[in-house]
Amino acid sequence: MHDIDERLAGLGTSLEDAAEVGSPALARSRGDQLRVAHRRRTLAATATTALVAVLGIGGLAAFRTGDGNGAPVGPASSVTTTPTAGSHTSAGAPEQTVSSAPGTPSATRPTAIGGRTTAVVDLNQHELTLVDRNGLVMKVLRMTGGSPDHPTPAGTYTVTAKKETETISSQTAGVDGYSIKVNWVVHLDGGGPTIMAATWYDDTVIGVRNQTRGDIGLTSPDAQWLFSNLTVGDHVQVR
């Protein structure tokens, strides 16, 4: 057995020596590409958020339920129900916005990816929408994502594992020392966030603001529901 230990130690050295290593500049340029792509997605998300705000609550409801392609335009009412689009004061403004951003409504409406059940995480709205394989909204859950210091990376991920109970520690999260037992854990591939029951957050956080270290937190009942409705191979889209 001691022999095995020595041989394994030797294997490490041997593989290190044989490793073909690229330049760090190459890794950086690829990283920059990822960052640009991420920024584009973020900008698109911001644009669609503004669009939704301009269209008003009626339009929002239409998108949520995903019933058809009706372009709900009620200029008079939408101006009064515009919480964030302060610059749009004229009645013509909403139409202008719609025409200048073609195709954005389809990016707003959660859709199923690859014919699989898909959880769409909207970091700006603090909502997780589960869409079944036919594109029908199953449920909209309140969530909390990564804080501005630890933003949840946008992207489309695949569920790789589910665990009813798991100990999450600082080693895996990469921040200062903690180790905590969590329930209803859903793991994603490719450096994606982990989804779990965040029992240490209450109603003032979940569904209200992003306060995690990058992972996605749900209330315990919601996390359990999601856990039982997502299977390995399903998709999670973070935007």
Partner 1 sequence: MSRERDFDEFYLGSVRKVTAQLVALLGDAGEADDAVQEAYARAWQRWDSVSRMDDPIAWVRVVAYRIKVSSWRATVRRTVAHRRHGPPADVPDVSPDSVALVAALRRIPEAQRRAIVLHHLAGLTVEQVAAEVGAPVGTVKARLSRGRTALAGFLGETADDRMTGEHSYA
Nearest to partner 1 of 91, 175 (CB atom):
175
- Give the list of residues 6+ apart from residue 177 with CB closer than 8 angstroms, or none: 170
- Answer yes or no: are the C-beta atoms of 140 and 129 closer than 8 Å: yes
Q: How far is the CB of 206 from partner 1 (least distance, A)?
A: 22
| Residues numbered 187-226 forming contacts with partner 1, rule: CB under 8 A | 189-191
Letters for 1-30 (x = contact with partner 1 by CB under 8 A, - = none) are: xxxxx-xxxxxx-xxxxxxxxx-xxxxx-x
Half-sphere exposure of 100 (CA within 13 A, CB side): 11
Question: For partner 1, which residue of 153, 156, 220, 225 counts as binding (CB under 8 A)?
Answer: 153
Residue pair 195/186 in contact (Cβ under 8 Å)? The answer is yes
CA torsion angle for 190, 207, 210, 128 (degrees, to 10)? 20
In whole angstroms, what is the distance from residue 95 CA to residue 50 CA?
13
Applying CB under 8 A, among 46, 87, 172, 231 the residue interacting with partner 1 is 172
Region binding partner 1 by CB under 8 A among candidate stretches 48-56, 97-105, 113-121, 153-161: 153-161
Q: How far apart are CA 156 and CA 121, in angstroms?
A: 10
Q: Which window, 82-90, 111-119, 124-132, 169-177, contacts partner 1 (CB under 8 A)?
A: 169-177
3-state DSSP assignment of residue 127: strand
Closer to partner 1 by CB, 136 or 180: give it. 180
Give contact residues for partner 1 (rule: CB under 8 A).
Answer: 1-5, 7-12, 14-22, 24-28, 30-35, 38, 149-151, 153, 158, 160, 163, 166-172, 174-176, 179, 189-191, 232
